[in-house]
Structure 1
Amino acid sequence: MAIVNPDPMLELKLMQEKMDRLFDPNRAGGYGEPLESGVWQPAVDIYEDDREVVVKMELPEVEQKDIDLHIEGNTLIIQGERKLEREEKKQNYHRIERCYGTFRRSFVLSASVDQEKVRATCNQGVLKVVLLKKNRGEARQIDIEAD
């Protein structure tokens, strides 16, 4: 095993970032989104086209049984837990930088989303939620009848 001399300035910067997240939960959410309950927030991509809205969330090492996905009112809620599994006899940790514990993310759905037509898959640590848009129907001419 190689011995690594720690960089004290890097260690100080990492500690400062952790303290910022701990004491200023609004900064931890990123992009003006407040940190909800939980220890960490998985990264999310949200995009849409004419037919659907897609939410992709990175959930490495989170088991499918530990993910709760539901809609309350007009809000999509994704919550769960990434567990740190230690076997003290086999592993001696020198550093733990990845976040573990519970997470909760919520996103307000637009009125165009059909809440009854939602699909979710989890593949290679990425949760993909597809929310189909309501069929607005095509424009049609309405005939006016004479009295």
Structure 2
Amino acid sequence: MTERRNPFEGVTDLFSELARVRSTGVHGGPEHALTPAERTHASAWVPATDILARGEDLVIRVELAGVDPEDVELSFSHGVLTVSGARPQDASEDGVEFLVRERFYGAFRRTITLPEGTEPDQIHAEFDDGLVEVTVSNGVSPADSTRIALTDKSSGRTSRTVGRG
């Protein structure tokens, strides 16, 4: 049986972050946020991520301060790398009232679409001091795209950057 790939899979991270902001920002803060048991992908927080080229390798850095490496799961399916897990909430402190609380706890999930043709044996990951670094060997390919002219409807001008890019 063939499994169809969801073309909107990468977009779900944006919706996860918007749902998290809505639940914590609009309703009065983290005390009104969902409990870890209530969290789904739609409400999981999305860790900060950098994607860069190091020579011919594609490097993905995911910031997971306060997360135990044992609580992190990496998977690769249908060209999509998924980093997921959970960050436990700090033990409650008696007599403490948070004035500002910006760190997120509970389930997290980040999906990144890797270059077409990426094979699992090209992917290597390390965890060091709260930072997951995933390296995709030979993951950077020369630009094989064609730039498309963009016309500004208000002025009628067309961009000059047309050609191979």
TM-score, normalised with respect to structure 2: 0.55
Contact kept? 2:49, 2:60, Cα under 8 Å: yes
Higher strand share: 1
CA gap of 1:92–1:119, structure 2 versus 1, over 3 A, is: farther
Larger radius of gyration: 1
In 2, distance between residues paired with 1:78 and 1:46? 14
Contact kept? 2:62, 2:133, Cα under 8 Å: yes
User: Do residues 44 (structure 1) and 49 (structure 2) align?
Assistant: yes
What does 1:113-128 align with in structure 2 at a 5 Å threshold? Answer: 113-128=118-133
The equivalent residue for 1:18 is 25
Contact kept? 1:114, 1:133, Cα under 8 Å: no
Higher helix share: 2
The equivalent residue for 1:93 is 96
Q: Let me know the Cα RMSD of the aligned residues.
A: 3.0
Counterpart residue identity of residue 47, structure 1: L
Counterpart residue identity of residue 118, structure 2: V
User: Do residues 58 (structure 1) and 63 (structure 2) align?
Assistant: yes
The equivalent residue for 2:156 is none
Identity of matched residues, %: 25
CA gap of 1:38–1:132, structure 2 versus 1, over 3 A, is: farther
Aligned residues: 106
In 1, distance between residues paired with 2:135 and 2:84? 17
TM-score, normalised with respect to structure 1: 0.61
In 2, distance between residues paired with 1:119 and 1:37? 27
* Structure 2: stretches of 5+ with no match in the other structure: 1-20, 30-40, 142-165
